[in-house]
Chains A and B, each alone.
Chain A
Amino acid sequence: GAGVSQSPSNKVTEKGKDVELRCDPISGHTALYWYRQSLGQGLEFLIYFQGNSAPDKSGLPSDRFSAERTGGSVSTLTIQRTQQEDSAVYLCASTRTSARGETQYFGPGTRLLVL
């Protein structure tokens, strides 16, 4: 079946511009995570969605970052007024809600470069 997809694959933007990154999780997966992979910080958690519950935004680095998940499926990560330190690979992962130990399946990521 189809895996997690992300778009765009690569994004180059100018400092100060807003960007939107999209994630399509695996059909039927109710939990969705965003992570950021950067040279300086490694892989870090950003935000978590589970069904209709309020998202866990504890990993968002600043208020310039926001995310939403519409209809319990597609998610969009928005970065406003981008800064050079936002340059990174943004990874999305989804998982079924199961009793124990569900595995997170990752998309191919969006590489963001802020000039």
Chain B
Amino acid sequence: AQTVTQSQPEMSVQEAETVTLSCTYDTSESDYYLFWYKQPPSRQMILVIRQEAYKQQNATENRFSVNFQKAAKSFSLKISDSQLGDAAMYFCAYRSPRGSGNTGKLIFGQGTTLQVKP
């Protein structure tokens, strides 16, 4: 079974600085998807960024980028120019492709609470 591990329960960053959140996963599959979701106090899970395992290029969305190391099964999130609105809990998630008995359900890490200091 696949597992996702976020080893940093809490992180803090100064506004405008850069922070990296760590995520490792375990799988025997070669084809899968990885996601970072943000959950502010409103509880709404918001997709931050996604990565397809078959793509070697790291995904980037504005100030958010990932460092995807497939061999090491590592998927870290870098937030550049941190803003107060980035403060939230961040979840790393793994998903198998749907089909062949897979539902495509998300498997989540434990989450990392990010504090942004003004």
Instruction: List residues of chain A with CB under 8 Å of any chain B CB.
Output: 31, 33, 35, 42-45, 48, 50, 56, 58-59, 89, 91, 93, 95, 100-109, 111
Complex A-B, nearest 9 residue pairs according to Cβ-Cβ distance, in ascending order? A106-B45, A43-B108, A45-B105, A48-B103, A109-B43, A56-B103, A108-B44, A42-B110, A101-B33
Please give, as numbers and ranges, the residues of chain A lying within 8 Å of B47 by CB-CB distance: 103-105
Contact assessment for B106 and A101 in the assembled complex, using a CB-CB cutoff below 8 Å: no
Contact assessment for A43 and B44 in the assembled complex, using a CB-CB cutoff below 8 Å: no
How close is A57's CB to chain B, nearest CB, in angstroms? 10
- Please tell me which one of the listed residues A59, A100, A105 contacts residue B105 in the complex, with CB atoms under 8 A apart: A59
B interface residues, tally (CB under 8 Å): 23
Give Cα A105–Cα B46 distance, bound, in whole angstroms: 8
Contact assessment for B45 and A91 in the assembled complex, using a CB-CB cutoff below 8 Å: yes
List residues of B (83-116) whose CB comes within 8 Å of A's CBs: 91, 97-98, 103-111
B52 at the interface (CB under 8 A from A): yes
User: Beyond A43-B108, A45-B106, is A103–B50 a contact (Cβ under 8 Å)?
Assistant: yes
Give Cα A91–Cα B98 distance, bound, in whole angstroms: 20
Instruction: Beyond A31-B98, A43-B111, list 19 extra A-B contacts (CB 8 Å).
Output: A33-B105, A35-B106, A42-B111, A45-B103, A45-B105, A45-B107, A56-B105, A58-B103, A89-B43, A91-B43, A93-B45, A95-B104, A101-B33, A101-B97, A103-B47, A104-B106, A106-B37, A108-B42, A108-B44
